[in-house]
Structure 1
Amino acid sequence: MESINFTDIFKSSILEKTSSFSIIDSLIGLAVAFIVGLFIYWVYKKTFSGVIYSHSFNISLIIMSMATALIIIGISSNVLLSLGMVGALSIVRFRTPIKDPMDLVYLFWAIIAGILCGAGFIPLVIIGSILIGLVLLFFVNKIKIENPYLLVIRYSNHNIENSLEHVLSSSTKKHSVKSKSIMPGNDFEVTYEVRVKETDMTFLTSISDIEGVKSAVMLSYDGNFTA
């Protein structure tokens, strides 16, 4: 039977785990995750094209990169801890809605960067992040995609529909009726999808001047409605 001495009683398992923990490697991983997070922050700010820019969301990308790297560093040397971490994270439910698909791209990018930094793949995360950033900067800022507009017209006399068609045919590249409805008070409302000529909106004045037109509203759609 083995004897237990005084040293065995006060032996700390935490100190044993700390002895196999590399502070320098951890600091390098967190530092690279911070730098890559700053790069993601800058790319997101340069390529944002939504309605309202969220600075707090952009800051969260930096923190997410560092936090993910911290988790990977912690579980990389302990299988039991990794299984426990997976179980703990599986019960987390994020209830913040993500409306823009591009926001999901940046979230996924930040998480992957943190994983690679925590695992020690520093060259891979640097090269990959630079390439992803260049692709985003090129496709979002350099390539302009012509988004259609929605034109909502409310009028009281259905006899003016020919006049509306004449104005739209002469002032827009393309237009088509998407919906038409009868409103209370015998008013009509029609929705057109139009593609304008070099953002020329002067035809709205011509439509508003038509007798019987009560309102004409132009909406652009790029994932969010803006008037």
Structure 2
Amino acid sequence: MGDNTSFQDLFKKSVLHLEAFRNISYIDIIIGLIVSFLAGLFIYYVYSKTFRGVVYSYNYNVTFVLMTMITTLIIMTISTNIVLSLGMVGALSIVRYRTAVKDPLDTVYMFWAVSAGIATGAKLYPVTIIGSLAVGLALFWLSRRKVRGQPYLLVIRHNESATEDVRTFLRKMNYQLKSKTVRKDFTELTLEMRLRDDNTAFVNELSALNGVLDVALINYSGDYAQ
């Protein structure tokens, strides 16, 4: 009489007892959470220092810390048993996030947090540390270069008495006229120009001219200065 164990039973045993799916000790959990928390704090710090948007969101930045830790927990969970891993994948596949990302660069920080969490959950701590430092340095370097040669729209509203003064002031600037709107009480000009090193002192000088009602400087990326 041969062994009654079927091929299906052998497959189940071989899959469910893979060495890759192991038990994680409490020490591994604590170390993983500490490393992921520190990596998340580093992402939090880099985001706060390199942010160039209009309104900084503290709550959005905090999510990077929590996202790193939660991803670490997920990787730790699915690495213990293949059944849990399949169940986790099925559960996460039905989740839909509809939060609008206003700045495309924010998605980089999301992937950074998820990647750091995956590496930490897999106990690849050097990958988490070295990779986070490399990405952080790259973002710091790129953020310092962003302010050079950025396109802006200059919107000027003035009355008729300031027409000649505004024209004289604009002669020393490099710009392209985008639109001119003449109303009964004022004239509105929209000019396109490029600024270097965030030099916006001319806005105050222009708004101080007699007959100039208001001046607005608008960056194409959404930054606003007045």
> TM (normalized to structure 2)?
0.75
1:33-84 Cα distance to aligned partner (Å, 9 max, x none): 1111111111112212222222212211111000000001101232232222
**Superposed CA RMSD:** 2.9
Report the Cα offset of residue 151 of structure 1. Answer: 1.6
Counterpart contact for 1:47–1:140, Cα < 8 Å:
yes
**1:168 counterpart letter in structure 2:** L
Whole-Å Cα distance in 1 between the matches of residues 101 and 29 of structure 2?
Answer: 32
Whole-Å Cα distance in 1 between the matches of residues 176 and 145 of structure 2?
Answer: 29
**2:222 counterpart letter in structure 1:** N
Whole-Å Cα distance in 2 between the matches of residues 36 and 196 of structure 1?
Answer: 36
**Pairing 1:136–2:139 present:** yes
For structure 2, list consecutive stretches of 5 or more residues without a partner in the other structure.
1-21
| Residues 118-137 of structure 1 mapped to structure 2, 5 A cutoff | 118-137=121-140
Counterpart contact for 1:151–1:216, Cα < 8 Å:
no
1:170-218 Cα distance to aligned partner (Å, 9 max, x none): 2x2x2111233455x4854331013458433154146x425xx5x3322
Report the Cα offset of residue 119 of structure 1. Answer: 1.2
**1:209 counterpart letter in structure 2:** N
Report the Cα offset of residue 107 of structure 1. Answer: 1.2
Whole-Å Cα distance in 2 between the matches of residues 196 and 139 of structure 1?
Answer: 17
Whole-Å Cα distance in 2 between the matches of residues 178 and 83 of structure 1?
Answer: 57
> More deviation in 136-145 or 64-73?
136-145
> More deviation in 75-84 or 40-49?
75-84
Equivalent in the alignment of 2:175 = 175
| Residues 61-210 of structure 1 mapped to structure 2, 5 A cutoff | 61-141=64-144, 144-155=147-158, 160=163, 164-170=166-172, 172=173, 174-181=174-181, 185=184, 188-195=187-194, 198-201=199-202, 202-205=204-207, 208-209=209-210
In structure 2, do the counterparts of structure 1 residues 78 and 179 end up closer, same or farther at CA, with 3 Å as the change threshold? farther
In structure 2, do the counterparts of structure 1 residues 52 and 35 end up closer, same or farther at CA, with 3 Å as the change threshold? same
SS in 1 for 2:154: strand
Counterpart contact for 2:207–2:215, Cα < 8 Å:
no
Whole-Å Cα distance in 2 between the matches of residues 191 and 142 of structure 1?
Answer: 26
**1:193 counterpart letter in structure 2:** E
Counterpart contact for 1:175–1:194, Cα < 8 Å:
yes
Q: How many residues align?
A: 202
**1:176 counterpart letter in structure 2:** Q
For structure 1, list consecutive stretches of 5 or more residues without a partner in the other structure.
1-19
> TM (normalized to structure 1)?
0.75
Of 214, 217, 224, which aligns to 1:216? 214
Counterpart contact for 1:149–1:218, Cα < 8 Å:
no
